[in-house]
Amino acid sequence: MQTFHSIGTTADWIVMVVYFIAIMLFGSYFGRYTKNTSDFFFGGRRFSWWLITMSIVATGVGSHSFVKYSAKGFEHGISSTMTYLNDWFFIAFFMFGWLPIIVYSKVRSIPEYFEKRFSPSSRFLATILLLLYMIGYIGIGFLTLGKAVIPMLPVAFTLFGLTIPITLMGAIIVIAIVTGVYITFGGQTAVIFTDLLQGFILLFAGLLLFFFGITYLGGFDIFWDLLPTEWKLPMADFNQPSSFNFVGIFWQDAIAGSIGFLFMNQGLIMRFMACKNVNEGRKAAAINILFVLPISAIVVGNAGWIGKAISIASPEVVSPSVSPDQIFVVVANIISSPGVFGFIMAALTAALMSTVDTLINATAAIYINDIYRPIRQYLKKNVIPGPENDRRELGAARYASVGVTILGVLAVLAFKNFPTVYEAHGYFHSTLTPPLVVGIFLGVFWKRFTASAVITTFVGGVALMILGARYPGILIAPFDHGIEMNQAHPYSYIRALYNTLVCSGVAVLATLTTQLQVSLISNIRSKANNTLLMNGILVVAILFFGIVAFGIAGLTLQVAAAVGVIVLVPLAVTYFVHYDEEDNTLGLTASSIHIARKQFKGSDPNDQEGEKILVHWRLFESDASSMGFSSNDMDQMSAKQGDLVYLSDKRSWLGGLKSVHSTYAEPHSEDGIVYLTPDLIESGLFAEGRELLAEKEM
Amino acid sequence: MNLFSHSWLPFIYLYGLGGILFVAGIIITLKAGSFDLKRPAHRKWMWILLFGFFWYFSMHALMTWAALGTISPYAVPIILLAQVAIFIVVTLRFGKKARA
C-alpha cells in the first residue's frame, strides 16, 4: 500500500498555523462567558436552534470524518454516504421521548438519569459504560487526526543534531496538547461558538474541494461516466465484502449508531440541552438530520470519489494502491493550489478537533456529575451550593478535561491496528453502545422496565457480548446475513445485531419475570439467615461473571455461567436495591412527560399561544429571581404570574448568547418595560439601552 | 451484471425494517401522550416527521435510479430541491395556522 509524507508547501503550513491561532482566539473570546459549571457544560440553556444546528455540524462531521468516509468513498464509491442518510428512523423517539425528558428532568448527565429512573447502582454501572464509550470515541478522534496530519509531515526531523522520527503516536500527543488548551479554558460556550464558525468553514471547504475535483476531471459528466455503476449506487452490496457491507452497517450504524448518537452521546445531548427550550432542540435535530447531513455526506466523502475517478483516468497521478486513510490529503493536494490546500487541511483538522473537544468537555461533565460530586457528597456529607463550591467544581472540570485528554490518547492504542479508521469506529460502536442503548431506550419507553432489569442488562448482556466476541463463529454467525467472517476482525459491524439482541433479550426477560423475582425475594426475606443467603448469591453471581470475563473453562460452562449471571443478578438487585415503580418513573418516562413539564415549571404549564413582545429593561434592586412586565404586555404574551419567560437581545443573529430564563413577577402598569434584578442583567449579558424580545415559555 | 443485491435489496431492507421502526416510534410516542396531535405545534411536527421519511426514501430511490441509468443524475438535485420548496411552504403554513 502506497503511503505519503511531506505533502504540502510552506504556504500551506502558514495558512494552517494562522487558522489555528484564529480559532483558538475565537474560542478564548467566548470562554469569558463561562462563569460557572452550568455555563461550562451547557452554555446556560439559552441558544437558538440555528446556532446549535451549525455547531452540531462540526461535531457530527468531525466524528464521521473526512478521513474515514473519503477512504470508503475511494474503496467503494458513493455508498460511503450510507451512514449519513439513515438517522431519521428514531427521530420520533428522540423528539417526543428522550429530549423532553432530559430537559424537563433537569439531569446534567446520562448516568444521572439512570439514578433518578432506576437506582444509584444503575448510575454507577452506566457511568463506567459511558466513560468507556466516550474515551474510546476520543481515542478514535485522535487516531483520525493523527492519520490526517501524518501525510503532511516529514518522515523525521533533526533537532540539535539528533534525528527524531515522526510517528503516529508522537503526532497524536502534540495534537492532544493543542486540543486540550481551549477546551480546558473555554468550556461549552467557547466550544459552541468555535464549532459554529468551523461548521460553516468545513462545509465550505468540503464543497470547494468537490468543485475543484470536478473541474480537475473536466466536468461532472466525465466524473460520472468514469465511475463504474456499483460505485454510483448509494448503498453497499447487501452482505459483501466483510469490510463494507450494507446489512452490517445497517445494524451497526442505522440502529446502534443512530440510537447511540441521539440518545447516549453526551456531547450531542449537551448541545441540545444548550438550546433555549425543547422545541428549539427539536428544530435543531430535524434541520440537522434532514438537510445538513446529506450535504455533509458529500462534503466528507467526495475526495474519495474524485480520487477513484482520477485513479481510473490517470493512475500515474493517483495510484489505485494509495492507502485509503490518506486519500483525502492526497486528492486535496493534487486538485488545489498551495495555500488553498493548507486551508482545506486546516478545516479538516479543525473539524476533527471540534469533535474531540466536544467529547472531552462532555466526558469532563460526566466526571463532575457522576464521580466528583457523589464522592464529595459521600465524604463530606454536606456540600453547600454557592459561588465557592462552583469555583471548585469549575477547577475540577478543567483538571478532568486534561485527564480525559490523556486517557483519549492512550485509547488510540486499542484502535490503531485496524485497516481503516472506519472499521475501527464500526467495531467500537457495535461493541460499546448496545447495553446503554437498550437501557436508555427501554427506560424511557417501558414503564415496567425495572432497576433489576437494567442492571441485569448491563451485567448479563455484557457477559453474553463477551462470549460473542470470544466465539463469533458460533454465536454471531447465526445472525450474519451471509457475511463472510474476517478472522482478524470478525464481524466488525453485524456484531451490533447480536449484541443488541442479547441485551434486549436479557432486558425483556428480566422485566417480565419481575413478579417472580419479588415473590422469591419476599420468601427469602422471611428466612432468618436471609442476608447471608443473599450475600452468597451475590458472590456466586460475581464468580460466574468472572468465569465469563476471563474465559475460565470451555464454551458450555461459560454459557452456563452467563445464564447463572442472568438468573442471580436480578434476585440480588431486587433484594439490595430500593426501587419503587411509581416514584422512579414519574416524569422520567415518555408516558409521564406532562408530569415532567409540571415538575420543571413548579406548577401547571400554560400552553395558551401568546405573542412575542419587544421591551426595554430597567434595573430593579431585589433578591427575587423573577422579572416584572406590565399587565397589558402579559396579556399579549398570554402569560400569568409564575409562568416561565425567556428574555433575549432583539438581535436574532446573536442566537441567544445574550438571554436569560426567569418567571413572571407581579405585573405593573408601564407597557414596554421589564424590570430586571442585577443578577438577571448580568446573567443575560444585557447592554444598556438595547431592546429585548420577551416570550412566554410555558 | 445482476446489481439487485447492491441496489434494491438494501433499499427494501432499509425502508422495510427502518419504516417499521419509524412508524413504531410515532405510534409509541402518540400512545404515551408525549406526542399529542391535539396541539397545533405537534401537528406541524407530524408533517415534518412524515416528510423526513419520504425525503430520504425518495433521495435513495432517485440516487439508485440515477446510478442504474434510469434517470439523469441532474434530475436528482432538481427533484430534491422541489421537495425542499414544498417542505418550506407547507411548514410555514402550519406555523401560520398554529398562531391563528
The mean pLDDT of A147-170, rounded to a whole number, is 80
Residue A4: the pLDDT is 67
E strand or H helix at A696, and its extent? strand A692-696
Which stretch of A28-37, A61-70, A394-403, B28-37 has the lowest confidence by average pLDDT?
A28-37
Query: Rounded to the nearest 5 degrees, what angle is found at the Cα of A601, between the Cα atoms of A598 and A604?
Result: 45
Strand partners, A489: none
Kindly indicate the confidence band of residue A383, based on its pLDDT and cuts at 50, 70 and 90.
low
Cβ of A97 within 8 Å of Cβ of B29? The answer is yes
Closest CA relative to residue A555, chosen from A649, A668, A473: A473
With a cut of 60, say whether residue A603 has pLDDT above it. yes
The mean pLDDT of A535-554, rounded to a whole number, is 93
For A577-605, letters b (16+ CB in 10 Å) and e give bebeeeebbbbbbbbbbbebbbbbbeeee
Residues in chain A closer than 8 A to B29 (CB atoms): 92-93, 95-97, 590
Kindly indicate the confidence band of residue A60, based on its pLDDT and cuts at 50, 70 and 90.
low
CB distance from A290 to chain B under 8 Å? Answer: yes
Three cell numbers at A498?
447480536
For helices A327-335 and A66-76, give the axis angle rounded to 10 degrees. Answer: 90
Which stretch of A103-117, A375-389, A447-461, B61-75 has the lowest confidence by average pLDDT?
A375-389
The mean pLDDT of A656-674, rounded to a whole number, is 86
Closest CA relative to residue A500, chosen from A448, A424, A441: A441
Residue A108: the pLDDT is 77
Q: DSSP 3-state helix, strand, coil percentages of chain A (rounded to 5)?
A: 70, 5, 25
E strand or H helix at A292, and its extent? none
Please give the residue that has the higher pLDDT: either B98 or A348: A348
CB distance from A286 to chain B under 8 Å? Answer: yes
Cα–Cα distance, A214 to A340 (Å, whole number): 16
Three cell numbers at B84?
425542499
Domain locations along chain B: 3-99
Q: Specify the residue for cell string 422471611.
A: A526
According to DSSP, residue B100 is labeled: -
The string of DSSP codes covering A320-384 is TTB-GGGHHHHHHHHHS-TTHHHHHHHHHHHHHHHHHHHHHHHHHHHHIIIIIHHHHHHHHS-PP
From the list B52, B63, B69, the residue facing A91 with the nearest CB is B52
Distance of CA A371 to the CA centre of its chain: 19
Q: Give, in order, the Cα–Cα distances in Å from B34 to each of A105, A598, B22, B55, B97.
A: 14, 13, 16, 24, 21
Residue of A nearest to B100 (CA): A609
Please give the residue that has the higher pLDDT: either A594 or A4: A594
Q: Exposed (0-12), middle (13-18) or buried (19+): which is A621, by Cβ within 10 Å?
A: exposed
Three cell numbers at A310?
482520477
Cβ of B28 within 8 Å of Cβ of A445? The answer is yes
pLDDT tens track for A608-648:
888 888 888 888 877 777 888 888 888 889 888 888 888 88
Cα–Cα distance, A472 to A555 (Å, whole number): 12
From the list B7, B22, B59, the residue facing A294 with the nearest CB is B59
Answer for the pair A5, A150: CB distance below 8 angstroms, yes or no. Answer: yes
The string of DSSP codes covering A196-213 is HHHHHHHHHHHHHHHHHH
Cα–Cα distance, A192 to A194 (Å, whole number): 6
- Chains A, B: CB contacts under 8 A, how many? 135
Three cell numbers at A78?
458513493
Residue of B nearest to A229 (CA): B67
Residue A64: the pLDDT is 57
Residue B44: the pLDDT is 92
Cα–Cα distance, B74 to A466 (Å, whole number): 48
Cβ of B7 within 8 Å of Cβ of A90? The answer is no
Three cell numbers at A38?
452550568
Closest CA relative to residue A297, chosen from A140, A83, A137: A83
Residuewise pLDDT in 10s, chain B (100 residues):
678 999 999 999 999 999 999 999 999 999 988 899 988 889 999 999 999 999 999 999 999 999 999 999 999 999 999 999 999 999 888 776 655 5
**Residue A674: how many other CB atoms lie within 10 Å:** 26
Name every residue whose Cβ is closer than 8 Å to that of residue A299 and which is 6 or more positions away in sequence. A61, A66, A202, A203, A205, A206, A207, A210
Residues in chain B closer than 8 A to A92 (CB atoms): 22, 25-26, 28-29, 35, 49
With a cut of 80, say whether residue A300 has pLDDT above it. yes
Cα–Cα distance, A339 to A418 (Å, whole number): 32
According to DSSP, residue A528 is labeled: T
- In degrees rounded to 5, what are phi and psi of residue A76? -130, -5
Q: Give, in order, the Cα–Cα distances in Å from A69 to each of A63, A241, A327.
A: 11, 17, 10
Residue of B nearest to A293 (CA): B56
- In degrees rounded to 5, what are phi and psi of residue B54? -65, -35
Closest CA relative to residue A269, chosen from A141, A440, A395, A438: A440
* Distance between B14 CA and the closest CA of chain A, angstroms: 7
The string of DSSP codes covering B18-69 is HHHHHHHHHHHHHHHTSS-TTSHHHHHHHHHHHHHHHHHHHHHHHHHHHHHT
- Widest Cα–Cα separation across chain B: 57
Cα–Cα distance, A677 to A680 (Å, whole number): 5
Residue A223: the pLDDT is 94
Strand partners, A164: A157
Cβ of A234 within 8 Å of Cβ of B60? The answer is yes
pLDDT tens track for A562-596:
999 999 999 999 999 888 888 888 889 998 988 98
Answer for the pair A458, A125: CB distance below 8 angstroms, yes or no. Answer: yes
* Residues recorded for chain B: 100
From the list A95, A97, A232, the residue facing B45 with the nearest CB is A95
Residue of B nearest to A223 (CA): B73
Cβ of A229 within 8 Å of Cβ of B63? The answer is no
The string of DSSP codes covering A107-128 is -SSHHHHHHHHT-HHHHHHHHH
From the list A235, A290, A591, the residue facing B32 with the nearest CB is A591
Q: Give, in order, the Cα–Cα distances in Å from A119 to each of A114, A266, A460, A576.
A: 7, 20, 17, 11
**3-class state of residue A614 by DSSP:** strand
**Residue A267: how many other CB atoms lie within 10 Å:** 27
Asked if the peptide bond before residue A241 counts as cis, ω within 30 degrees of 0, the response is yes
Cβ of A100 within 8 Å of Cβ of B34? The answer is yes
* Strand arrangement, sheet containing A644-649: A659-663, A644-649, A692-696, A613-619, A673-676
pTM comes to: 0.86
Distance of CA A661 to the CA centre of its chain: 26
Residue A489: the pLDDT is 80
Closest CA relative to residue B82, chosen from B51, B45, B53: B51
Kindly indicate the confidence band of residue A162, based on its pLDDT and cuts at 50, 70 and 90.
confident
**In chain A, % of residues over pLDDT 90:** 31
Residues in chain B closer than 8 A to A237 (CB atoms): 5-6, 10
Averaged pLDDT score across all residues of chain A: 85
Strands (E), A596-681: 613-619, 644-649, 659-663, 673-676
Answer for the pair A104, A644: CB distance below 8 angstroms, yes or no. Answer: no
CB distance from A289 to chain B under 8 Å? Answer: yes
CB distance from A219 to chain B under 8 Å? Answer: no
Cα–Cα distance, A112 to A122 (Å, whole number): 9
With a cut of 80, say whether residue A34 has pLDDT above it. no
Residues A404/A405/A409/A415 CA torsion (nearest 10 deg):
60
Kindly indicate the confidence band of residue A190, based on its pLDDT and cuts at 50, 70 and 90.
low
CB distance from A233 to chain B under 8 Å? Answer: yes
Cβ of B34 within 8 Å of Cβ of A590? The answer is yes
Three cell numbers at A383?
456540600
pLDDT tens track for A504-540:
999 999 999 999 999 999 999 998 899 999 999 999 9
CB distance from A595 to chain B under 8 Å? Answer: no
Type of residue found at B5? S
* Distance between B5 CA and the closest CA of chain A, angstroms: 5
Cβ of A590 within 8 Å of Cβ of B32? The answer is yes
Cβ of A234 within 8 Å of Cβ of B9? The answer is no
* Distance between B66 CA and the closest CA of chain A, angstroms: 8
Pairing of strands A644-649, A692-696: antiparallel
- Provide the H-helix boundaries in A526-663: 530-549, 555-576, 593-601, 631-636
Cβ of A594 within 8 Å of Cβ of B33? The answer is yes
Three cell numbers at A352?
476533527
